[in-house]
A and B are shown apart, each in its own frame.
Chain A
Amino acid sequence: MKKSNKQDKRQAENLLPWLIPIVLIIVWQVAVDAKWIDATYVPSPLAVLEQGVTLWQAGTLQQNMGISLYRATMGLLIGGAVGFVLGVANGLSRVSHALFNSTIQMVRNIPHLALIPLIIIWFGIGEPAKVTLVAIGVMFPIYINTLHGIQSIDPKLIEMGQSYRLTKWQMFTKVIFPGAMPTILMGLRYALGVMWTTLIVSETISASSGIGYMETNAQQFLDMPTIFLAIIIYAILGKVSDWIAALLESILLDWQASKGGR
């Protein structure tokens, strides 16, 4: 009996995060149906859904989503890799830190979206421009968190590794990298947010495909359902990437969660 109560409670807790979005959608639908708000400017959720189905059937939606996902993923991989390598190098080597960190910190303080005009001039409005912009955006959070993670490793653990004669590679793979992992993943989670923001802006300003382009194009025809659809898709993609980051954390940091054995 007690067990079943606990299960019910857990099920209710699992449903709780969906409560506010569902209520908002219902209120939104009712408000449009009751004409409390003008459907010309705020289409109903059902109208947005219908538009989604139409665009999907036409093949436009998946095409634009595909290209946006490609830009986001490529930018994340390139920027993330550069940020990670720089973070590791500067975290492990004093010379590298002295040489690069000051310059990186200076460049980091330039809002990367301010680089859009420059990047358009250099790369045009093709894929390299958008991928570069996303890469620059995600590079810094990954860099900062990797560097901070490595610098924050408990020096006692390093000393333990030294006293147990770990090789440099073993010290990195067994002590430094796993120790920095929680901070690196925090950086990744933040970088995912930056990734979508950068992509939205770059696709809105200069693109001929992608969700941002679809939205800007719809603006010219006052196609409100498509504008709302693009915004909702961005929200869903952001949520999915956050969920992937959380999943990664639960897999890679399972030792943090395991408590209460004895």
Chain B
Amino acid sequence: MATDDLIQLTDVTKSYQQHTVLHDVNLTIKTGEFVAFVGESGGGKSTLLRLIAGLEPATTGQLTMDGRPINGLNTVARVMFQDDRLLPWMTVLENLSFKSRDMNEKVRAQELLDLVQLHDFANYYPNQLSGGQKQRVALARALMASPKLLLLDEPLGALDALTRSRMQELIADIVDQENLTTILITHDVREAAKMADRIVAIKHGTTGLTVPGHRHQTDEMAMIAVANEVQEFILSD
């Protein structure tokens, strides 16, 4: 394994009773890389992300992070889910620093709220925020532990087009700023092409097509061409 490989999946399979969701997945993700998993609903994208997060074990095969097997929760990864999963009884600030009463945690939480442009909302409850604001809080919470790996499980799926576009820019900026290795799950092939270094199309429970994304690039036509290529692959029989 090359030294800058952060995640390595070898012949990974995941089955629930008789139903196989993922089979023979082989994948390597490098440190600092932004990888997008795209595919149809039920194709196994989210399951793959959950295996990498350590939320579920693989049925067979091996997953390693930094060369060590992922057994149980992946301690250096943090997940941002499609639904914000904020604790409704805690304020925004408490949702970020709920693990500890340490003052440093509070300071870090304030810094992250600045980063996601929500510094004025520290004392608001989640039900006082819009969908986009809640997702920004969820992003800040995911960053609290300074993770090595950020796992984004369709975090923008429920947002309107304008908010979604703003969130894409915000996430891209933060990932750059914090130099995070990131995996994004999305249905939106254009979103994947715009944000990622590499797009992995998952079809019939395995990695089918891998193409370069257009992160940090401005050639919109090339980006659309990549998106179309991925879309055609996903929709083909």
Residues on A facing B (Cβ under 8 Å) = 156-157, 159-160, 162-166, 170, 174-175, 178-179, 181, 253, 255-256, 258-262
Contacts and interface: CB of A to CB of B under 8 A. Distances in A.
Contacts of B87: 157, 174-175, 178-179
B233 interface: no
Interface stretch (B13-21, B121-129, B205-213): B121-129
B53 interface: yes
Looking at chain A's contact residues, the main secondary structure is helix
Interface stretch (B1-9, B62-70, B78-86, B221-229): B78-86
B78 A164 contact: yes
A261 B124 CA distance: 7
Contact of A258 (B75, B98, B127): B127
Interface residues of B, number: 25
Nearest to B124: A261
A165 B77 CA distance: 11
Looking at chain B's contact residues, the main secondary structure is loop
A172 B57 CA distance: 24
When A and B form their complex, which 9 residue pairs have the shortest distance between CB atoms, in order from nearest? Answer: A261-B128, A160-B85, A178-B89, A255-B89, A255-B125, A258-B125, A261-B124, A163-B79, A174-B98
Interface of B: 53, 55, 73, 75, 78-79, 81, 83, 85, 87-90, 98-99, 121, 124-125, 127-130, 133, 141, 145
Nearest to A167: B99
Nearest to A166: B99
Given A262-B124, A262-B129, A164 B81 contact: no
B127 A163 contact: no
A163 B128 contact: no
A162 B55 contact: yes
A261 B145 CA distance: 28
Contacts of B129: 261-262
